Amino acid sequence: MRTRDLSVLLASGLAAACGSTTTVDEFRATTHLMQIDAGDKVVILGRRDAGSYETDRSFVECLGDEIDDAHFEVMSEDAFIDAFYPWFEPRTAPKSLARVQKLMERDFVRARIEETRVRYLVWLDGEIETSGHAGSMSCAIGPAGGGCLGFSSWDKTAFFEAVVWDLKNLTEEARVRVDSEGTSYVIGVIAPIPLLSPVRSQACSGMGEQLKSYFTQVATEG
């Protein structure tokens, strides 16, 4: 009985330790919700212009799945970049609202926007960093069997910022920043037991819920 209690206590203690802390900050100049008609699209683009990192494509996809809604469609990043080639390549994409306003002065670009029905563009910038590796683990295998012994931990920090541009009115509608951090562990007791902190998924769902709340309540039919 005492052994079972100890196991339960240990497991719950470790599970709690693997949790992550997520903070979502937002900035909006207005409290009005964003207008989006049925059939309009939202696209999420990851920043690719920095030399040292690129916004994780899987995080862009995760965020797209989070905000996808029955009233409007989330256009895939690749489909959007291809549909507007060469204006949203890593080196040519507009990094500021002033550059988008300049780009939209070209009739053929504006015509393509209307044709594809992309109403909002979300620029996503950020990355997930791993740091603070500690501990060690060694595994061995022999004729009588194998096993691991030891303990290893590391910290993960995710920070992402999303900027939402309205491509119809050419205005910045919102800025959302999410910070998420947590520590993951691997305990080697014969078999390695990973206890991973859900930093990525917490950051994705935190930002996704915030962005989705701007759209869904005002979706209009037809």
Partner 1 sequence: MRKHWARCLFASSAALLLGACAGSTNIMIEQTFPSVVAQPQALHATLVFDQAFRSYVATPDEHTQIGIGTAQVELLSNAFRGLFTQVDVVTSRDEIPPGTEMVIVASVREVQVSVPSESYLSVYEVWIKYNREIETADGAGIDSWFLPAYGKTPDSMLLSRSTAIEQAAIVALRDAGAKLLLDFFRIPAIYAWMQEHENQKVQS
CB-CB contact of 61 with 68 (8 Å): no
Residues numbered 171 to 190 that lie near partner 1 (CB under 8 A) are none
Site string for partner 1, 15-54 (x = CB under 8 A): ---------------------------------x-----x
Q: Which of 161, 148, 129 lies closest to 47 in space, CA to CA?
A: 161
CB-CB contact of 95 with 130 (8 Å): no
Nearer to partner 1, 54 or 69 (CB): 54
Which helix (H) or strand (E) segment is 16 a member of? Answer: helix 2-17
Residues numbered 50 to 79 that lie near partner 1 (CB under 8 A) are 54, 56-57
Measured distance CA(125)–CA(143) in Å, rounded = 51
Measured distance CA(184)–CA(21) in Å, rounded = 13
Nearer to partner 1, 8 or 111 (CB): 111
CB-CB contact of 222 with 81 (8 Å): no
CB of 142 to partner 1, least distance (A): 21
Nearer to partner 1, 32 or 57 (CB): 57
Measured distance CA(48)–CA(125) in Å, rounded = 9
CB-CB contact of 51 with 90 (8 Å): no
**88's tokens:** 């949203």
Please identify which residue in 69, 87, 153, 216 interacts with partner 1, judged by CB under 8 A: 87
Please identify which residue in 3, 31, 70, 85 interacts with partner 1, judged by CB under 8 A: 85
CB of 88 to partner 1, least distance (A): 9
82 binds partner 1 (CB under 8 A): yes
Size of the site for partner 1 (CB under 8 A): 19
Residues numbered 90 to 149 that lie near partner 1 (CB under 8 A) are 90-92, 106-109, 112
Positions in the binding site for partner 1 (CB under 8 A): 48, 54, 56-57, 82-87, 89-92, 106-109, 112
